[in-house]
Amino acid sequence: MHEITLTVNGVVRQASVPARRLLSDCLRHDLGLTGTHVGCEHGVCGCCTVLLDGEPVRSCLTFAVTVDGHDVTTVEGLADPDGTLSPVQRAFAECHGLQCGFCTPGFLCTVTALLRDNPAPSDEEVLEGISGNLCRCTGYQNIVKSVHRAAEIMAEEPWAGAAGSPRVVPEDPRAGEAGDTSR
Amino acid sequence: MTTKLFGEPVRRREDPRLLTGRGLYLDDLAPGALQAAFVRSPHAHARIRDIDVSAAIEVDGLVAIYTWEDLPGALAEPLPLLIPHPALTHGRTAYPLAREIVRHVGEPVVMVVARDRYLAEDACALIEVDYEILKPVVGVEEAAQSAQLVHADVPGNVGAHLVQEVPSTAGLGAREAIDAAPHTLAFRLDIERSASMPLEGRGVHARWDADDRSLRVHSSTQTSTSVRMAIAAKLGLPLPKVEVVAPDVGGGFGVKIVHPWPEEILVPWAAITLGREVKWTEDRREHFVSSAHERAQVQSVRVGFDDEGRILGLDVEILHDHGAYTPYGIIVPIITSTQLLGPYKIGAYRVEFSSIYTNTVQVTPYRGAGRPQAVFCMERTMDHIAEHLGIDRTAVRAANFVQPDEFPYDQGLIFQDGRPLIYDSGDYPESLRLLKELIGWDDFPGLKARAAAEGRAIGIGIGCYVEGTGVGPYEGGHVQITSDGRVHVSTGLTSQGQGHETVFAQIAAAELGVPLERVSVVTGDTRRFGYAVGTFASRAAVMSGNAIALACRKVKEKALRIAAEALEADPRDLEIVDGEVRVVGAPGSAIPLATVAVLSNPLRYAFDAEAARATQFAGASSFDRPPVAEGEEPGLEGRDYYSPIRSTFASGMHAAIVETDPLTAEIRILRYAVVHDCGNLINPMIVEGQIHGGVAQGVGGALYEKMVYDGHGQLLNASFMDFLMPYATEVPFVETAHLQTPSPLNPLGIKGAGEAGVIPVSAVIASAIEDAEGIRIDRMPISPSDLFDLRRAAPGRSTAGT
């Protein structure tokens, strides 16, 4: 077993995991953060996407031991601490960008990073940006609409734009170095 | 309807939890539960000689290993045949764990329970099953001709054979009518296998309360009530001691209507046997090889028609591949053969199907459920007629439409619900007019010529369908208004992303005249509502929506009666607005529903100030009659059921413009247009979403998705790497227009919408590719290499790109 320490949604967490423990299973079953879903366990569907040091990764293709000391944001960490939904979350609700909701956490994480890097993407850039995530319900049309709407909200409310970026935890100096990519 | 809520694009009430990671799907439950894993057959057809578990029992954390021989009583019997049919003369179902013979790759042989899934899989890997490999039967035509049998006691591998025939008004049979027709055509069509493929697989969690001797099961199912009955029957438990809850379900699309899956009875049995919570979550590989597939059919068509393209006789023979077992009966080929006629009235119709066993995963309904195949057949037929006669494809369709003044229109067939196939309403000519306008049908030849001048090949295609929705036998709704003014709605059928919590709340709020925020909806929980059928066949809104509306009307009637007494008014002068019962025209005279709820329940004991108003010394009741009058019940609640005389028939028409690359044969959908008629819309935003999602699955079925079996019965593409589902980059923008011809069959005038989007897509894309290429498209899905091969085989075509 390996003792690991990681910062998840701004909170320092510890877990004792075997080397083969997937990050997706560690988040879900060791840390109780079941918002991250597992759709294929071979890195194709994108349901398990989380932000590792701010960048989207497949948590089902990542061993938990490899993120020791790193910063992870999951769907549970996208809203403000007071519960206010992030612009991306709000846009998905407004535009009916989800149906069964199983792929949604992966899309939300992917889109959060996408808009952080490109606050006003074109249609092409949106399609490219979400082309690694499968959805079996929506036909993507309203997801694309949601991404554009989220960009709009972020432009209207620049103060809300940082949601989903890794949060710095002052007590843990590593998180600040490795993970603070907020704009 | 008393408020605008019905028909409004109300935002979904499910979303806040699903957007913040607070949804609860099956694998999110019971973190401490033991986990099950299965040893599954690696062979398509084999005899089990021996199972050696000796190495596995050394695994640390192992709790139990079970094989068929361990199963007691009814659990050791074959799984139920859910939908018997007289034509299904040789229905066969699997054992929960294989007994002696395995008949497809993925069939469960051993169940392992361990401390966690990793350890359970470790143990599975150490279990040695000794198989005697038998010759597999793969491919529906091969199986129909093979001497090799999937089941030793099923001759010819034929599970079912059914002929339905509707003679012409002149009394001619289809074959006679075809022979007598001025024009005849004959051709063959092929449709490959696909699958529902929800992003969340199946899963089961069971908790046995040994003190109470009761069982609570969660299953990622489309029918919790029926899973409950199956578990009670298989495990010999009294029904009231079993509860089944469908938690948040990550998509179903048909595959989760099948029940009980082996795991749905094995996991609860293990939980009881071990006295521990047990959970099983299907992984993706398991889902590919042990759940269900659909679609595969071979169709032989003969059609006779006149100079205008009117069909005088249609004769269709279908070979349907139902895989290794028939737990869901022959619903899929029945739907294909009965929904084939679409919006058309034809002279005489004969349809014959044989449903055939193969050593592959079983076939059960996937969204559309036999209709995509039916529409592919009929719409290819329409296009072939148009080509033969040299007339416009839409003109041939229009010549055959059932006309708006001909409803109800009896097609003379027996539908999947065992009841007559009678179309209730529709307006097909108007639908076609809207579609042609939306896609620009009449301007397309100019567009095509201009594209050709640029060296580009584009084509336009069309497909029409009628979909029987809202099949019975019934659904129910329960509505309770509590003394805090909240409205609690429950129905037994389940949800997999359709937004039922929202649309059912809209219906209840509109019926009762209460704010939407006060209404909460529970679906798929047998603790709240025990009588239900399930979510399939685009039936949830029609069935439970109407049941809830009827239950609300009962509750409203009671509320008005009680309020009338309190307000000393005539109930007929009362209305409910914003949660308050008011005397119409006298705004000062009102009583909140919360108070009516208090008054509806005469109390001895007060628990708050509001309740004190209903206690025995509060002076509210009359001395002349008992506190609860004869025929009355305490409480402001009501239950009602909706059981339709027959299905209601939604319809629609799609058109697409595609471009095919002259060199690579890549197929790109440039535009996709949908005209859809599902009667009155409860929530247009949600209906649109259903259509978008359906079209995307249709695009998958038309261009990408197929299950590739080799001759040994191995599924070669059992992963998302190789089974290609569309991403955002593959799905076109869908343009929609709605027509609303209300159903006369139900109080809300609604029809189902869940499956509509997927149904005609293969037909539409084939039609468009054919138009672009001038090559017959008789087989779906079609990949660039398929099209490339078709080009090479086409007479007179150059072999560009070789």
pLDDT in tens, B12-35: 999 999 999 999 999 999 999 999
ipTM of the complex: 0.96
Chain B nearest CA to A2, separation (Å): 16
pLDDT bin (cut points 50, 70, 90) of residue A171 is very low
Angle at B24 between CA A28 and CA B18, to 5 degrees: 100
Question: What is the mean pLDDT of the segment spanning B41-49?
Answer: 98
Residue B586 pLDDT? 86
B 706-745 near A (Cβ less than 8 A): 719-721, 725, 727-729, 731, 733-734
Tens-place pLDDT, residues A91-118: 999 999 999 999 999 999 999 999 999 9
- CA dihedral of residues B740, B745, B749, B753 (deg, nearest 10): -60
Residue B170 contacts A where some CB pair is shorter than 8 Å: no
Choose among A89, A94, A138: nearest Cβ to B692.
Answer: A138
Q: How far apart are CA B29 and CA B171, in angstroms?
A: 61
Question: What is the mean pLDDT of the segment spanning B34-60?
Answer: 98
Chain A nearest CA to B403, separation (Å): 33
pLDDT at residue B530 above 80?
Answer: yes
Residue B800 pLDDT? 47
Residue B798 pLDDT? 54
Question: What is the mean pLDDT of the segment spanning B713-734?
Answer: 97
pLDDT at residue B675 above 50?
Answer: yes
Question: What is the mean pLDDT of the segment spanning B40-54?
Answer: 98
Choose among B497, B685, B691: nearest Cβ to A101.
Answer: B497
Residue B620 pLDDT? 60
> Domain A2-77+165-179 sits in which CATH superfamily?
Beta-grasp domain (3.10.20.30)
pLDDT at residue B4 above 50?
Answer: yes
CB-CB under 8 Å, B692 with A141: yes
CB-CB under 8 Å, A98 with B18: yes
pLDDT bin (cut points 50, 70, 90) of residue A150 is very high
Residue B199 contacts A where some CB pair is shorter than 8 Å: yes
Q: How far apart are CA B444 and CA B673, in angstroms?
A: 14
Residue B607 contacts A where some CB pair is shorter than 8 Å: no
Tens-place pLDDT, residues B199-228: 999 999 999 999 999 999 999 999 999 999
The percentage of chain B sitting over the pLDDT mark of 90, rounded to a whole number, equals 93
pLDDT at residue A174 above 60?
Answer: no
Closest CA to B665 of B569, B798, B755: B798
Residue B617 pLDDT? 80
Strand ranges for B365-505 from DSSP E: 409-414, 420-423, 457-469, 475-481, 487-491
The arrangement of secondary structure in A87-160, i.e. its CATH architecture, is Orthogonal Bundle (1.10)
Q: How far apart are CA B178 and CA B182, in angstroms?
A: 8
Domains of chain B: 32-134+196-290 (3.90.1170.50), 386-470+645-793 (3.30.365.10), 472-600+635-642 (3.30.365.10)
Residue B587 pLDDT? 76
Tens-place pLDDT, residues B317-364: 999 999 999 999 999 999 999 999 999 999 999 999 999 999 999 999
pLDDT at residue B478 above 70?
Answer: yes
pLDDT at residue B611 above 90?
Answer: no
DSSP H or E run through B592: strand B586-592
Q: Spell out the domain ranges in chain A.
A: 2-77+165-179, 87-160
CB-CB under 8 Å, B734 with A40: no
Q: How far apart are CA B122 and CA B224, in angstroms?
A: 32
Question: What is the mean pLDDT of the segment spanning B705-730?
Answer: 97
pLDDT at residue B714 above 70?
Answer: yes
Which of A36-40, B366-370, B601-605 is predicted with the least confidence, judged by mean pLDDT? B601-605
Residue B606 pLDDT? 86
pLDDT at residue A178 above 90?
Answer: no
Chain B nearest CA to A119, separation (Å): 20
pLDDT bin (cut points 50, 70, 90) of residue B141 is very high
A vs B, Cβ pairs < 8 A, gives: 169
pLDDT bin (cut points 50, 70, 90) of residue A177 is very low
Q: Are B562 and B483 contacting, i.e. CB atoms less than 8 angstroms apart?
A: no
Tens-place pLDDT, residues B495-515: 999 999 999 999 999 999 999
Choose among B496, B689, B727: nearest Cβ to A134.
Answer: B727
pLDDT at residue B601 above 70?
Answer: yes
Q: How far apart are CA B213 and CA B227, in angstroms?
A: 18
* Chain B residues whose beta carbon lies within 8 Å of the beta carbon of residue A103: 199, 250
Residue A161 pLDDT? 53
Across chain B, mean pLDDT equals: 95
* Chain A residues whose beta carbon lies within 8 Å of the beta carbon of residue B61: none
Six token digits for residue A153: 């909200």
A 20-79 near B (Cβ less than 8 A): 20-21, 28-29, 32-42, 44-45, 47, 74-76, 78-79
Residue A183 pLDDT? 30
